[in-house]
Amino acid sequence: MTKYQRITFVIPCRSNLPYLQQAVGSIEEHYGDSHDVVILDDASDDNSWEWITQYSEGRDNIITYRNDSGDRVGHTVLYDVGFKLAKTAIVSILHSDMVVTPNYVQNMLKQLKPMSVVSATRIEPPLHPPGPEKYVQHFGLEVDEFSEQKENFLNFVSQKEEENKDRTTKGIFAPWMMYKEDFVSIGGHDFLFAPMELEDSDIFNRFHLNGYELIQSRDAFVYHMTCRGSRFKDGIEIEKEIPLPDGTIWYKPKDSEEYTILRQHKFREWWRKWHTDVLHDDLMMPIVPKRYDTGFIVKNCNTQILSILEPWCDTIYVDCDYRAYVDAENEKSEYEISDAVKPYDNEKNNNVLISFDATQLTNQHFTEFIKKLPFIIEETGEVGSFNWDIFQIDIIELNPIDMIQPHFKNIF
């Protein structure tokens, strides 16, 4: 077996034992005990922890951890625990529904350097939209199907490794690899996004802002079953089969109820933090505008408008009764919403103030101005007062907020 630098795989899991066994098995099959594996169980209610305990017995390269609180803490927390437990200088995040390939480690390592993050290239069944950063190729939706297709899969990988030898592009997506020291220096994940949804996008933004080089290796591959601990945690339920012009079938799966609820909630937290949607180019390179301390001064507001606008600014000054809204949002958010919603005539101390009449606000205003406001402020580039359609813009200071460190508690 070729010798190269030892790394640690960090694999969180929750109640998806067959996929976990397949992921860990692929590491053992291709690398034996040449690398460490940290397996982190997130209060699973199947036999995952029993299997992890038995599997790790007598194996010096296996490190285990269990959240036994009974409540899910999520990948956000467990990723960071895994990094903390890792004994090697280099760590690779791996989802428990991924399968590594024979040359995964060496092809990732050859691109890795300090102040960089290297991503692999995913091969996925047709459950998510295609993109130039991955291959959509059907080698099975479930473990037994993949086992039957394994030889075909490895042949496909060998072909693509040869076609893409040493090729890279710029972008980031799981699975990724980096130096532990670089991960610690950025503070790890933001616990705002626990137990799941958007934790990856957040840390990718912060990697980018901190100047890390984001490299995708185009000859390092995994098979990704996709979201088997969250979105499709109860298995794949196909809502519709959609024939494509090339004769292949596109599957539209049904999201789990847990995932749907968390997604809606965590997107509101994302907007509160970043004041934009999740933005990236076609190759998954983050697009991150500067973040400014922004206040909305909204005349003729109502609770519905307040609910739409509040996550997109630091403070919103309104002339309606907001107490019930604040109480309800405070129950769900890590932010103190009572600090974000103020009376219309309250003293204004934000660096950027946006004044407008809610009765004139349209969907077009929301999509073309509110959602793009950080870019508009950045492009303006000077202190002063300006008009943009119905909006009065007053820029008092142009000091962007430092977004590199996590906003909420971390373990480093």
> What are the pLDDT digits (tens) for 136-153?
999 999 999 999 999 999
Answer yes or no: is pLDDT of 9 > 60.
yes
End-to-end CA distance of the chain: 35
Measuring CA to CA, how many Å separate 189 from each of 6, 157, 196, 331, 388? 24, 31, 11, 23, 36
* Confidence (pLDDT) at 2: 45
Q: What is the pLDDT of residue 234?
A: 66
Average pLDDT value for the chain:
94
More confident position, 236 or 38 = 38
Tens digits of residue pLDDT in 301-317: 999 999 999 999 999 99
Q: Start-end ranges of CATH 3.90.550.10 in the chain?
A: 8-274
Distances (CA, A) of 369 to 8, 388, 403, 411: 45, 8, 22, 37
Assess whether the previous peptide bond of 195 is cis (omega < 30° from 0). Answer: yes
Collapsing DSSP states into helix, strand and coil, what is residue 104? helix
Average pLDDT over residues 55-76: 94
Beta bridge partners of 67: 42
Which CATH number does 8-274 carry?
3.90.550.10
**What b-and-e string marks burial along 197-217, b requiring 16 or more CB atoms within 10 Å of the CB?**
bbbbbbbbbbbbbeebbbbbb
User: In the prediction, which pLDDT does 3 show?
Assistant: 56
Q: At what angle do helices 48-56 and 17-31 cross, to 10 degrees?
A: 20
* Torsion angle defined by CA atoms of residues 155, 158, 164 and 169, in that order, rounded to the nearest 10 degrees: 80
Q: State which H helix or E strand residue 238 sits in.
A: strand 238-243
Beta strands in 8-167 (DSSP E): 8-13, 36-42, 62-67, 90-93, 98-100, 116-124, 134-136
Residues 210-233 pLDDT 10s: 999 999 999 999 999 987 766 776
Q: Is 26 helix (H, G, I), strand (E, B) or coil?
A: helix
Owner of token pair 């959602």: 371
Burial (CB < 10 A; 0-12, 13-18, 19+), residue 366, is middle
Closest CA to 284 of 375, 216, 225: 216
